[in-house]
Structure 1
Amino acid sequence: MEQSLRIAKLQVEYMENPIAVDKERPRFSWGFAPAKERGLSQSAYQIVVASAEEKLADGAADVWDSGKVRSNRNRNVAYEGPALQSAKRYYWKVKVWDAAGSVSPYSEAGTWDMALLGPEDWQARWIGVTASDKEAWAEEGAFGPKDPLPLFRTTFRVGKEVSRAKAYICGLGHYEMRLNGEKVGDQVLDTGWTDYNRTCLYTVLDAAPYLQTGDNAVGILLGNGFYNVTGGRYAKYKGSYGDPKLIMQLEVEYADGEVQRIVSGEGWTIGRSPITFSCIYGGEDYNALLEQAGWDRAEFAEDGRWRKASVVPAPRGKLALQNLRPNKVTHRFAPVKVSESPQGAYVYDLGQNFSGWVRIAVKGAPGSTITLKPGELLQPQGDVNQAWNVSFSYTLSGEGEEIWAPRFTYTGFRYLSVEGAVPVELIPEAGNDELPVMLRLEGQMIGPDVATAGSFSCSNTMWNKIHEMINWAILSNMKSVLTDCPHREKLGWLEETHLMGPSIMYNYYVPELYRKIIDDMRDAQLDNGLVPDIAPEYTVFDHDFRDSPEWGSAYIIATWYAYNWYQDRELLEQHYEGMKNYVGYLSGKADRHIVSHGLGDWCDVGPNPGYPQNTPIPVTATAMYYYVADIMKKVSDIVGREEDSRYFADLAERIKDAYNANFLDGETLQYASGSQTSNAMPLALGMVPEGLEDTIARNLLDDIRKRGNSLSGGDVGFRYLLMALTKFDQPEAVADMLLKTDNPSYGYQVAHGATTLTELWDGPTFGLSQNHFMLGHAEEWFYAALAGIQIDYESPRFNEVRIQPHLVGGVEWVSAHHDLCEGRVEVQWRLKRPDHWKLDVAIPVNTTAIVHIPKFGECSILESGNPLHSAKDIEWLGERGASRVVKVGSGTYSFEVIGE
């Protein structure tokens, strides 16, 4: 019998039709198309896999047929068939049954290609820059403080019809691959950053569109990236894993089944590129006079500038597939204003602070050099504030209109100082015919090609601006790691992965990114269990900047959040021992279950931002110790470690007892210093003795009110403050803090022109980083509390969400959505008048929701115009506090609360 279930959005390992999967047992996921009927759920599924599309269409699945499996699971269902072959493409589809036994049509066919599964599949060899190459360039006058980057090339023939072609490539630090004069793909800053002594990522590119019958050429540029931090201008640190190198294997599959392999190794040649300087921190210089036209084409005739490329030793790190979405140009910004500074430079205002680079179109005399200096702020007199010595330069070839953008570095900025060129808009005023003309200039934002997973808006325009500001900061700091800032450090400080984890996950689909970041933490972990504050650990900091529990605990907390958000049990299994070892490390540092080291509530409110001024470090450090022990108890249960579960349960109780004995004042019923962070963390994490929660919560609220509704917590404490206030039903207190426009507040940043979240609350006027997302915790509150879309990341409740909106004064309406694997959750609520509130909810197929409907004294509650108790497809769960609670299945619902 036909029914309304329709399958949508097939994924293998979180990607649609991936061209490289490195797991021997790939996992399948699928969602559902929206349906008018309510309460639709999956009761069984059947997956079929074939070696060819026609076999799948004929129903002759020659690889694997799962048969009918009774389960409502639609995420991360593992392949259970025979061994899969390297580099081969497979085809699959799925159908499902509903609770009544009706079966859906099969989905459309999906595909995935296997990656190179073992070292034996690689025939390519590593080639790279050697000392003899540098000596030759030095003789040409091309080597010195500005080290040129290399070009590599080879030629080959294609003699038959091509069915598929894929390039497997790792270029360290970054690479750009070209075929027959064109760049292959639109990714940038590939491959992702890792500890190259542990892991080196390779990517897979679709090369077929770039091939031609007959002679072909492949050309590869290499950049330094984090593999080779040269310094020379500003650099957070200097260090190198070695000179740039690459390995590349291009597999051309012909229509007749033959496979031709073009591999890096002997027979390739190396030349110097026009990139004369490139540092991931300091910028990039390009000299177009050094270009060799056609170097990436087969007909190019090499001259004495080209040498035989050398086979070099492989890096120490293991070669592994890059299982995350690549960085691309995601946004473009045209200048909103161009002016001349008192120093004679031209200042471009791009209107938005972001991370990336600029693309310019210029025309001028050969040898003319244009220098571009980025900055986040302007000086009072109007020139760009160059807090860091970062610059880009382009030397013209003089051949008509020239277009250029950097390749292997980026920075954070809004403003750009241009020296050596006149903006085309200002030529009449400039009156300088000798300088090149800047025909066009465009800011290009760089970030991973992640899907948007949510939206939020409300009637409060300032809150909408805060939402936008936080998201620009998240996107600006999202690369292959989550950086703290895109200009000064670019390092993966780990506290943000968990403190801002839900805020990120509400907005963006990031399962692959989190898997990669968690792998980085594994690679960074020391033998004694310590997880450093940054991963990859490119530089070893001293003391607390290497070992802070609020940072290192990310290995456990971020993994736990990713599991709960994306139903990824494999994460827990792969990292269980490492997570367990980190708790063991903290236990070794604890004194009678109290942990006393670390950075604490970093950058809390006070005259000296940095180390905490309001909350003792042991308060936050020990609270995190308790939290990770509690999480590990749950993880142990999930992976079947019963003895460990008992151990972690006992450890968590002992930590809690010690915490209360050391920090809870029995007379004042305040924790430690009585700061907001001191009281909020035990409330949020469930550490307060039973019966005292309301008193501690009142003390917390009193402190907020005494401060004029101001916060005092920092990087760590502010998130737990919002969690505690939400847990104890104090949305008005949060709203009052978010409505402020004096320092400290988001509103202060908005009022002073910030376009991204700044490092400190008074950032736009104080002048430190203008692009940090470490204090963006309001984003989680907007989704989870104000809109009320709650994803439970403490107790796994797959295929269930909670809808619990919180009404606050001055907000007339809220609209939000969040995309689950199953489909879209939508919430819109509106206060039509003081005694009339309307809530519209949409729940995707195969999902249930617990909906909390607030009461307004004596009132009537309707659903789709009918009294709630008589409404169909709704299960009454009773009253909880000031709400009436119901359970609903998939579908759309419209609730109204009308005062009597």
Structure 2
Amino acid sequence: MVTNPRTCDLTDPLGIEITRPPLSWRLTGTATQTAYHVRAGSSEGAADLWDTGEVESADQRVTYGGRPLTSRAIVHWRVRVRDAAGDWSDWSRDARFELGLLDAADWTAAWITHPDWHDPGDPRAGEGHPLPLLAAEFTLPEPVAAPVRARLYVAGVGVYVASVNGRPVTDAVLEPAYTDFARRVAYAAHDVTALLRSGANAIGIALGPGIAHVYPHQDRYMKFFGSKSSPKAIAQLEVTYADGSARTFGTGADWLATDGPTTRSHWFGGEDHDARLTVPGWDVPGTDRSGWRPVALSGDVPAALRSRACPPIRVTERLPAVEKLVAKDGTAVFDVGAVVAGWAELRLDLPAGHHLRLLPGDQLDAYGRVVQSKPTTGAPIFNTYVTADGPQTWHPSFRYDGFRYVEVQGLPEHVGADAVTGLVLRAGNAPVGTFETSNSLVNDIHTIIDRAVRGNMYSVLTDCPHREKLGWLEQVHLLFDVVAYNYDVAAYYRELLVTMAEAQTGDGLVPDIAPEYVVFEHAFRDDPNWGGAIVRVPWQLYRWYGDTSAMETHYDAMGRYVGYLTGRAEDGILGHGLGDWIGLDPATPVPLVSTWGYWRAARTMARVAGVLGREDDAKRYRALTEQITTAFATAFPQGGTQASDILALDMGVVPADLVPGVLDRVCEAVRGGGITVGEIALPALFRVLGRAGRHDALWEFATATSHPSYGYQVRHGATALTEAWDGPTRGLSQNHFMLGAIDAWFYRGLGGIGQAPGSNGFRRLLIEPAVPGDLESARASTATPYGQVTVSWTRSDGEFTLEVEVPPGSSAEVRLPALGLDRHTVPSGAAALGERAHEVPAGRWTFRSSR
């Protein structure tokens, strides 16, 4: 059977802007695909747009090549495949995709805002005023002409919450996505057909400033202040009827504005809400709006409107407080059990007029109060809430916090633990990975790394959800495999690349953060191991998902960045940068680390150019790579720091006869708890030692509990990975994933899930689990473009059992570990490649070794 038909790596996307999108599918069973047949039409089952006929190919990803598509086009498509026996499958379910508004002329609506928030000459317009509510009513005919389709296209600068007839149009929150709001605003398309009714209808939009408009406050923390634009919104509702007629309702001069109950929202410092000021029925038809004011039309938005092409941020978990603590001074502190990012939701039944102050934080002090300081969460950060009368529920809507604890000042003593729930937010990338071993400490390490990834997976990958909330780029590519083993990020990472390309300067520089909301100085703006993400990520998307589109789209930007680095290098050596950030050995030279990043970018460009058939470029970049390699080997002789050894091994510049000794030196340090590398060299450490088969050394580090180690964090109470090895006792952020590189080794090393040489998109798997130390079992699973791959192994009493599930469309080379067991039971159907290596096609396979 054919399953999971997707467009642009999304299920039935609405409002996309790619007119020739990639179409992909998966298979069930074990048969091999030898041909496919795709049909696409303007209605279910039709083929009036495209019919490929029977194509001899094993590809499960093709580009739509049918009739040209225009704005609002709806395409239904399905696929069937043929197996090696010549039998055709049934057709897949009808998948669909719908294009958005492709041209600026498609937008007839206007940007609007509250008049108090509109002063083009004053970047602080709106400061001191409540956040706006915007609304308008329109009328639809009686049911005899009921709409068959209604689409709401909506965007905002800042943060918006849209509703139709009092009901939210989506479960997405904190819309729109991070962009450079002066250049691009991401709009969303929503199917609101079911929300409409005959007669009077209403659209409502609540607005907040978000990160687009961070104005200074003396009483609240702020990482930076500055404004891309004050809050505003645009919305266009298009209603289509059965007879083909259509009506459009959009934001414009007929809309009205009023003050909402949220009196202030600051992206970093907090949000204030007075429930007594709630405007009943503000977004439903029939409400008296005689006291409202006409909106201001805002013509100062030069940004292009572009559709969001990846999953939005959603509430993904609800964590009720596990305990209500009472600090020594009697203040109530609620514990949701884990460090998370999102909203603290209040559920209360109180009289009106209680003034509450909520302080989020990751740690408690000796008095039981929430810890806030600039090195940890930033300070002061607090939300305030004034109660209305009776049962009520509230959480911030226009910002978010990082927290485990919520200190609530002003709360009556009788209120119990059920008053606070943690709503965990993150980008809605589907979880695809699982990992578990017989060692509980290792399992806990995986858990805290995953929790930190989730805590920073917003519309960009942030460094922390409280102090900065910025898209620092080194984690995006250095930890790509950590993220991708655990989540489906094909569409998400393509969108991250768009923000990087937009941030690139005219001279080719890609700044360390994207979008670049604040311009940092020197290395904090210009480091090749941060900016290099624009080169590495397209290659990583190709290797992981078999998708060349990012390389094709961003090839010129990638080349400009390598050219920028070349212009700053002297004789192949790049001298500027942050070095091996947060490393414990300050002796590692900054030029060594930066030159390694330069080498990696040049080497990647050579590979990309080769895949895309740009042979002249590939030759030029290979020559550049060799030049950098020679310069590095000359400038940085062996015997330096641990990071120096690791990066030299990664580059292959260590003479062959010296490699074993250098590996021994690194392993001795790793085994002895003396790891000194920072976040740049750390992924290379796991890669180099894993490639060399030195898994026992990595295992000793994985199970260590002294500082520095992951186990130290677990043993000292970390529930998410922290910013430093000794984060739980040192402070700093308690929700950082930049040191999480070991999780890739968990999947690739202990779980054994990798790719065979020359494979892309996991077409050919390499299953090679390591069985180090006293580990008795491991199980790992992740999704590939062809489906789920699962590896599970156990050992006991001189016997080793390995179970492998290979998805249809893939094959696998299975390599059994060398455990001193000389009797191997191999399943029928496995082809021998050596004594302990076998080739298997799709299916479930069990291998056993014994004495």
CA distance in 1, matches of 2:467, 2:756: 35
Paired position in structure 2 for 1:365: 351
Paired position in structure 1 for 2:206: 221
Instruction: Please tell me whether the aligned partners of residues 261 and 274 of structure 2 are also in contact (alpha carbons under 8 angstroms).
Output: yes
Instruction: Please tell me whether the aligned partners of residues 164 and 201 of structure 2 are also in contact (alpha carbons under 8 angstroms).
Output: yes
Instruction: Please tell me whether the aligned partners of residues 789 and 806 of structure 2 are also in contact (alpha carbons under 8 angstroms).
Output: yes
CA distance in 1, matches of 2:114, 2:767: 57
CA distance in 1, matches of 2:806, 2:770: 19
Equivalent residue letter for 2:731: G
Paired position in structure 2 for 1:120: 105
Question: In the superposition, relative to structure 1, how do residues 361 and 492 fare at CA in structure 2: closer, same or farther (>3 Å)?
Answer: same
Paired position in structure 1 for 2:39: 48
Paired position in structure 1 for 2:264: 277
* Matching of residues 463-482 of structure 1 within 5 Å: 463-482=442-461
Paired position in structure 2 for 1:684: 650
Pairwise CA distance, 1:42 = 1.2
Paired position in structure 2 for 1:831: 795
Instruction: Please tell me whether the aligned partners of residues 756 and 813 of structure 2 are also in contact (alpha carbons under 8 angstroms).
Output: no
CA distance in 1, matches of 2:80, 2:127: 62
Paired position in structure 2 for 1:163: 148
Equivalent residue letter for 1:441: V
Question: In the superposition, relative to structure 1, how do residues 121 and 134 fare at CA in structure 2: closer, same or farther (>3 Å)?
Answer: closer
Pairwise CA distance, 1:889 = 0.9
* Matching of residues 416-815 of structure 1 within 5 Å: 416-422=406-412, 424-425=414-415, 440-605=419-584, 613-665=586-638, 670=639, 673=640, 675-705=641-671, 708-791=672-755, 796=760, 798-815=762-779
CA distance in 2, matches of 1:586, 1:597: 10
Q: Which stretch has the larger CA shift, 387-396 or 490-499? A: 387-396
Give the 3-state SS of the residue equivalent to 1:84 in structure 2.
Answer: coil
Paired position in structure 1 for 2:82: 97
Instruction: Please tell me whether the aligned partners of residues 521 and 555 of structure 1 are also in contact (alpha carbons under 8 angstroms).
Output: yes
Pairwise CA distance, 1:448 = 1.2
1:151 to 2:129 alignment: no
Pairwise CA distance, 1:131 = 5.2
Identify which of 819, 825, 831 aligns with 1:875. 831
CA distance in 1, matches of 2:448, 2:113: 42
CA distance in 2, matches of 1:328, 1:43: 39
Question: In the superposition, relative to structure 1, how do residues 424 and 45 fare at CA in structure 2: closer, same or farther (>3 Å)?
Answer: farther
- Residues 345-390 of structure 1, C-alpha deviations (whole Å, 9 max, x = no match): 2111111110011111223333321111111100111111122211
CA distance in 2, matches of 1:557, 1:687: 21
1:382 to 2:368 alignment: yes
Question: In the superposition, relative to structure 1, how do residues 765 and 439 fare at CA in structure 2: closer, same or farther (>3 Å)?
Answer: closer
Paired position in structure 2 for 1:609: none
Question: In the superposition, relative to structure 1, how do residues 51 and 575 fare at CA in structure 2: closer, same or farther (>3 Å)?
Answer: same
Pairwise CA distance, 1:795 = 6.2
Give the 3-state SS of the residue equivalent to 2:211 in structure 1.
Answer: coil
Instruction: Please tell me whether the aligned partners of residues 166 and 206 of structure 1 are also in contact (alpha carbons under 8 angstroms).
Output: yes
Equivalent residue letter for 1:364: L
Question: In the superposition, relative to structure 1, how do residues 519 and 19 fare at CA in structure 2: closer, same or farther (>3 Å)?
Answer: same
Paired position in structure 1 for 2:11: 16
Question: In the superposition, relative to structure 1, how do residues 121 and 480 fare at CA in structure 2: closer, same or farther (>3 Å)?
Answer: same
* Matching of residues 254-265 of structure 1 within 5 Å: 254-265=241-252
Equivalent residue letter for 2:14: I
Instruction: Please tell me whether the aligned partners of residues 453 and 483 of structure 2 are also in contact (alpha carbons under 8 angstroms).
Output: yes
CA distance in 2, matches of 1:144, 1:132: 4
Q: Which runs of 5+ in 2 are unaligned?
A: 374-378
Q: CA RMSD in A?
A: 1.8
CA distance in 1, matches of 2:128, 2:347: 24
CA distance in 2, matches of 1:545, 1:794: 36
Q: How many aligned positions are there?
A: 838
1:409 to 2:402 alignment: no
CA distance in 2, matches of 1:550, 1:556: 10
Give the 3-state SS of the residue equivalent to 1:362 in structure 2.
Answer: strand
Normalised by the size of structure 2, how large is the TM-score? 0.96
CA distance in 1, matches of 2:578, 2:757: 25
CA distance in 2, matches of 1:897, 1:406: 57
CA distance in 2, matches of 1:652, 1:117: 40
Equivalent residue letter for 1:403: T
Paired position in structure 1 for 2:223: 236
CA distance in 2, matches of 1:522, 1:181: 38
Paired position in structure 1 for 2:330: 344
Equivalent residue letter for 1:307: R
- Residues 476-528 of structure 1, C-alpha deviations (whole Å, 9 max, x = no match): 00000000000000000100001111000000001111111111110111111
Pairwise CA distance, 1:317 = 2.2
CA distance in 2, matches of 1:69, 1:145: 61
Give the 3-state SS of the residue equivalent to 1:713 in structure 2.
Answer: coil
Pairwise CA distance, 1:698 = 2.4
1:245 to 2:245 alignment: no
Question: In the superposition, relative to structure 1, how do residues 823 and 81 fare at CA in structure 2: closer, same or farther (>3 Å)?
Answer: same
- Residues 447-491 of structure 1, C-alpha deviations (whole Å, 9 max, x = no match): 111111110000000000000000000000000000000000000
Instruction: Please tell me whether the aligned partners of residues 196 and 316 of structure 1 are also in contact (alpha carbons under 8 angstroms).
Output: no
- Residues 203-222 of structure 1, C-alpha deviations (whole Å, 9 max, x = no match): 11121121111100111011
CA distance in 1, matches of 2:88, 2:262: 59
Equivalent residue letter for 2:65: E
Equivalent residue letter for 2:850: I
- Identity, % of aligned pairs? 37
- Residues 598-650 of structure 1, C-alpha deviations (whole Å, 9 max, x = no match): 001000125xxxxxx14111111111111111111111011121111110111
* Matching of residues 24-39 of structure 1 within 5 Å: 24-33=19-28, 35=29, 37=30
Paired position in structure 1 for 2:376: none
Pairwise CA distance, 1:181 = 1.4
Q: Which stretch has the larger CA shift, 317-326 or 414-423? A: 414-423
Equivalent residue letter for 2:388: S
CA distance in 1, matches of 2:118, 2:279: 18
Normalised by the size of structure 1, how large is the TM-score? 0.91
Pairwise CA distance, 1:291 = 1.7
CA distance in 1, matches of 2:115, 2:674: 58
Pairwise CA distance, 1:340 = 2.2
Q: Which runs of 5+ in 1 are unaligned?
A: 1-5, 136-142, 427-437, 607-612, 865-870
Pairwise CA distance, 1:862 = 0.9
CA distance in 2, matches of 1:750, 1:546: 33
Give the 3-state SS of the residue equivalent to 1:701 in structure 2.
Answer: helix
Equivalent residue letter for 1:175: Y
CA distance in 2, matches of 1:794, 1:259: 52
CA distance in 2, matches of 1:485, 1:449: 18
Paired position in structure 2 for 1:295: 282
CA distance in 1, matches of 2:214, 2:758: 40
CA distance in 1, matches of 2:359, 2:762: 49
CA distance in 1, matches of 2:737, 2:181: 27
Paired position in structure 2 for 1:886: 838
Pairwise CA distance, 1:858 = 5.7
Question: In the superposition, relative to structure 1, how do residues 453 and 226 fare at CA in structure 2: closer, same or farther (>3 Å)?
Answer: same
CA distance in 1, matches of 2:508, 2:799: 56
Equivalent residue letter for 1:361: R
